[in-house]
Amino acid sequence: MLEFSKEEYQARVANTKAKMEERGIDVMLVTDPANMNYLTGYNAWSFYVHQMVVVSLEHEEPIWIGRFMDAIAARKTAWLDHDNILAYSDKYVQSHERHPMDFVADVLKEKGLGKKNIAVEMDNYYFTAQCYMSLQKGLPNAKFEDAKELVNWVRIIKSDMEIRYMKRAGKIMEKGMGDAIDFLNVGVRKNDMAAEIYRTFTEGTKEFGGDYTSIVPLMPTGVDAGACHLTWTDEKYKDGDIVIFELAGCYQRYHSPMSRTISLGKPTKKLDDTVKITLEGLNKVIDFAKPGVTAEEVEAVWANNLKKYDMFKESRIGYSTGLNYPPDWGEGTVSFRPGDKTVLKENMTIHIIPGMYYEDFGVEISEALHITKDGAKPLADFERKLFVK
């Protein structure tokens, strides 16, 4: 079931260990499901219970630890020796008497890792406050520190095979966004629109089947179009509605996101003007982005363009994207905003999304970009404009 060669997974582990050594980390407890997948291939919807991959400098292979029933999927989807797949009993699940991290602490002690420098993913959804408390209690002689997205930063440069997957996700995006805009119309229930989006994106293309996306279709509409993270209701689209689609093609957990804005009926001047300014800025950013420039320099291109119109955007205009699980298709590394001095490099993949959000109105036109040798290329080839129906 491996999606990449065993050698590619092993190279990822080696890169992770090299970063650990640099930072004096002996043991990494990887709880981010995307990082777990990246290092081992493990892929299942089991992150609603605690699980992790342990990377230890003293151990050649990572060790998967999870729930008893999920060890079956681990043996099927991960490249690891089955001796390195360890499972805890169901009595640890959602209990106040014992915590899965008690089991993890026991494993680490047995493996002689109880007194090591241990890095944990302090701000990951799947490493809760209780995880940390239970680990500290179970391993009183260990020294803990924040991994600060160590594996995510290894992931930020994609391999050729990953880029190939991202491009397949881009193909799914092209088809899906086209079908979505075709289906959209006055009188259609919003949930039926979402149903069509799910259908077309999951169907994918004849060659590549679609995977589930880490964020559901975001489709704020009309006076709510500025509330960018709204999903849908079963109300119908009305004449004059502004519709935002923030969607992603997904292939084998790799995402290529994109947003477009559609006007049902003749656009207002305010909408036309905001789209014009957004497109102008976005196009300048795409022209500017390339290896060697920093994230904040990219953002400045956008911000300076806005300034011409006496406008300002409070939020970042993008982030690294690619491999992830719910609730986010961002990778938690670079943010395109003032102060972020990350230097762009070849084979980074980023989502530039300069959304313009207001109390009663909004515009989103965005692109997922592949940083190439000397520029930036959209992963999906789809007309960049305001659609009018």
Please identify which residue in 21, 81, 110, 123 interacts with its own copies, judged by CB under 8 A. 123
**In whole angstroms, how close is the CB of 266 to its own copies at the nearest point?**
25
Nearer to its own copies by Cβ, of 75 and 290: the residue is 75
CA dihedral over 147, 152, 153, 155, signed as positive or negative = positive
Number of residues that bind its own copies (CB under 8 A): 87
- Assess 188 for contact with its own copies (CB under 8 A): no
**In whole angstroms, how close is the CB of 354 to its own copies at the nearest point?**
12
Q: Which two tokens stand for residue 51?
A: 């699980």
**In whole angstroms, how close is the CB of 59 to its own copies at the nearest point?**
24
**In whole angstroms, how close is the CB of 127 to its own copies at the nearest point?**
5
Rounded to whole angstroms, the Cα distance separating 138 from 109 reads: 9
- Assess 96 for contact with its own copies (CB under 8 A): yes
**In whole angstroms, how close is the CB of 319 to its own copies at the nearest point?**
8
- Assess 126 for contact with its own copies (CB under 8 A): yes
Pick the piece of the chain touching its own copies (CB under 8 A) from 187-195, 271-279, 304-312, 379-387: 187-195
Residue with tokens 């849908």: 232
Rounded to whole angstroms, the Cα distance separating 355 from 302 reads: 11
Please identify which residue in 174, 196, 364, 367 interacts with its own copies, judged by CB under 8 A. 196
Q: Decide: 363 and 261 in contact? Cβ < 8 Å.
A: yes
Q: Decide: 121 and 100 in contact? Cβ < 8 Å.
A: no
Q: Decide: 124 and 31 in contact? Cβ < 8 Å.
A: yes
Please identify which residue in 157, 181, 188, 227 interacts with its own copies, judged by CB under 8 A. 227
Buried b (16+ CB within 10 A) or exposed e, 346-358: ebbbbbbbbbbbe
**In whole angstroms, how close is the CB of 17 to its own copies at the nearest point?**
22
- Pick from 327, 124, 319: nearest CA to 214: 327
Please identify which residue in 30, 34, 65, 120 interacts with its own copies, judged by CB under 8 A. 120
- Assess 321 for contact with its own copies (CB under 8 A): no
- Assess 374 for contact with its own copies (CB under 8 A): no
- Assess 4 for contact with its own copies (CB under 8 A): no
Residue with tokens 């990082």: 35
Q: Decide: 267 and 293 in contact? Cβ < 8 Å.
A: no
Long-range contacts of 356-361 (CB under 8 A, 24+ apart): 356/274, 356/277, 356/278, 356/313, 357/226, 357/227, 357/228, 357/315, 358/226, 359/226, 360/223, 360/226, 361/223, 361/225, 361/226, 361/242, 361/270, 361/271, 361/274
- Assess 237 for contact with its own copies (CB under 8 A): no
Nearer to its own copies by Cβ, of 210 and 267: the residue is 210
Angle between helices 6-23 and 33-40 (to 10 degrees): 120
- Assess 90 for contact with its own copies (CB under 8 A): yes
Rounded to whole angstroms, the Cα distance separating 129 from 112 reads: 25
Residues within window 261-280 making contact with its own copies, judged by CB under 8 A: none
**In whole angstroms, how close is the CB of 138 to its own copies at the nearest point?**
14
DSSP 303-336: HHHHHTTT----S--EEEESB--TT-SEEEEEE-
- Assess 316 for contact with its own copies (CB under 8 A): yes
- Assess 349 for contact with its own copies (CB under 8 A): no
Please identify which residue in 21, 48, 240, 268 interacts with its own copies, judged by CB under 8 A. 48
Please identify which residue in 124, 221, 342, 366 interacts with its own copies, judged by CB under 8 A. 124
Please identify which residue in 2, 14, 76, 137 interacts with its own copies, judged by CB under 8 A. 76
- Assess 255 for contact with its own copies (CB under 8 A): no
- Assess 5 for contact with its own copies (CB under 8 A): no
3-class SS at 376? strand
- Pick from 177, 202, 210, 198: nearest CA to 384: 177
Nearer to its own copies by Cβ, of 9 and 47: the residue is 47
Pick the piece of the chain touching its own copies (CB under 8 A) from 5-13, 272-280, 294-302, 311-319: 311-319
- Assess 91 for contact with its own copies (CB under 8 A): yes
Q: Which residues contact 164 (CB under 8 A, 6 or more apart)?
A: none
Q: Decide: 261 and 364 in contact? Cβ < 8 Å.
A: yes
- Assess 303 for contact with its own copies (CB under 8 A): no
